[in-house]
Structures are given as C-alpha cells and as structure tokens.
C-alpha cells in the first residue's frame, strides 16, 4: 500500500532566494508548482542535466543528420524540424 502522507523536503538556498521566497504568500505551493513544472519540462534526452553522455551524443549525431534546430517564425521558440517531412502547422490549429 502506498504511503500518501506528505513528506518534508529541505534544501539549502542563497540569501537572495530565501528573501524572494519570503515574499511569496504561499511558499510551499509556489515551490511545489515550480518543481512540478520543471519536472514536466525536462529534456527527454539529457533528463535535465544539460549534458549528453558519449553514447547519447552518438545517437544525437545520427538523429541530427535528418533534423534541424529551427526558430519558429511566429512564437520565436526553438524546435526540431524533420528535414524529411513537412512542418506540423502547429500555429495554424
């Protein structure tokens, strides 16, 4: 049976971060939301480390032969585009 009781997690923070968090009306809710957002937006390849392992780099190099990193002309965000297929039409939906 899973334990659904909340757990307390602590972490060290610089004085400037502590000061900024003290201004939040509900620090716990803010921190939970920030962590969940970060976890939901983690790079699927590096898992948030920002660094590819040598084996991941080999896979990436093979993938990149047919894909390009391109800036969207509408939202200005960078994204991958397959050179073998057409654009998804994301902004036309």
CA distances from 47 to 3, 42, 51, 59 (A): 26, 6, 9, 15
d(C-alpha 44, C-alpha 80), whole Å: 13
Average pLDDT for the chain: 89
For 15-57, write each residue's pLDDT tens digit.
999 999 999 999 999 999 999 998 899 888 888 899 999 999 9
Q: With a threshold of 0.75, does the pTM exceed it?
A: no
Helices (H), the chain: 15-22, 27-40, 54-64
**Residues 20, 22, 23: CA angle, nearest 5 degrees:** 70
């Amino acid at each position: 049976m899973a334990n659904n009781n909340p757990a307390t997690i602590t972490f060290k923070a610089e004085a400037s971060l502590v000061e900024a968090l003290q201004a939040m009306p509900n620090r716990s809710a803010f921190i939970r939301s920030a962590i969940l957002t970060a976890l939901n937006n983690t790079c699927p390849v590096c898992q948030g480390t920002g660094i590819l392992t040598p084996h991941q780099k080999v896979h990436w190099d093979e993938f990149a032969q047919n894909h390009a990193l391109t800036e969207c002309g509408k939202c200005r965000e960078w994204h991958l585009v397959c050179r073998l297929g057409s654009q998804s039409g994301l902004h036309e939906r």
